Amino acid sequence: MNVIQKDVDGKRRVIIDWAGWLDTSEIASSAWTVPTGLTESDGSDTATTAINYFSGGVEGQSYDIKCCITTNDSPTRVKCFTFTLNVEVAC
């Protein structure tokens, strides 16, 4: 599983690039599953990327986050990506 670091007091931007999987399709929408303790904000999509920002969390904790996209194909396709966000104190 992919691991991303986030400062306990900071806001972390996460960009998931789906271009390699999409072929000629585009992202129609994305949905993020975020555990209690984290706050998501300012999420957006481009034709090939899903973008979100995360803040909060408890120092020393890890949070599993899932991003699922739906394509503009007919029929639509759904693909999910899960990663871990580790919260730590900045050095």
57 pLDDT band (50/70/90 cuts)?
very high
Domain containing 81: what range?
Answer: 2-88
pLDDT tens readout for residues 1-40: 789 999 889 999 999 999 999 988 999 999 999 999 999 9
- Number of domains, the chain: 1
Domain CATH number, residue 45: 2.60.40.10
Q: Specify the DSSP element, H or E, that contains 21.
A: helix 19-22
Can you give the pLDDT at residue 71? 93
pLDDT confidence of residue 85 = 86
Rounded-to-integer distance, Cα 48 and Cα 25, Å: 8
Pairing of strands 78-88, 2-7: parallel
pTM for this one? 0.88
State in Å, rounded, how far the first CA of the chain is from the last one. Answer: 24
CA distances to 30, 42, 51, 67 from 37, in Å: 21, 17, 19, 17
